[in-house]
Amino acid sequence: MTLWPAMDKSSHTFSRQHDGALGIRGTVYSFTLVQEPPAGFEGQSPYILALVELDKGGLITAQLTDMDAAPEIGERVEMVTRKLTTDGSRGMIVYGYKFRPLIRQDTPAKSASE
């Protein structure tokens, strides 16, 4: 299962096929608290930006959300869909992925109920 665009290196094409956002887990690899936000993110500031090491391999950049305490490197997290920002004067909402602390360790990685 792939979530985000994957590069087919043999043909140098960039595919945007993806089949589902949830059930992806990882570990916090690094994080920072962004206190000088770019335009469009002022309302969320300060927010935590992180590099998450995915269980399936590789790193991904994403915000951390629903944090009760300060993050820690090595903390277990799971991917969720969240609003990223509002685009333009019409207020079109841009959704994307963030990571929250892994709550239910016992549920299977790909749960239909989520």
CB atoms within 10 A of CB 13: 9
Question: Which phi and psi (to 5°) does residue 83 adopt?
Answer: -70, 130
Sign of the Cα torsion 35, 93, 70, 22 reads: negative
Contact status: 17 vs another protein (CB under 8 A): no
Instruction: Please give the Cα distance from 28 to 10 (Å, whole number).
Output: 31
The two structure tokens encoding residue 68: 């009760």
Which segment (19-27, 91-99, 102-110) binds another protein by CB under 8 A?
A: 91-99
Amino acid at 91: G
Q: Which of 24, 62, 77, 79 binds another protein (CB under 8 A)?
A: 62
The number of residues that bind another protein (CB under 8 A) is 33
Instruction: Please give the Cα distance from 84 to 22 (Å, whole number).
Output: 16
Nearer to another protein, 36 or 106 (CB): 36
Which segment (17-25, 38-46, 102-110) binds another protein by CB under 8 A?
A: 38-46
Contact status: 80 vs another protein (CB under 8 A): no
Residues that bind another protein (CB under 8 A): 4-5, 29-42, 44, 47, 49-51, 58-63, 73, 84-85, 94, 96, 98
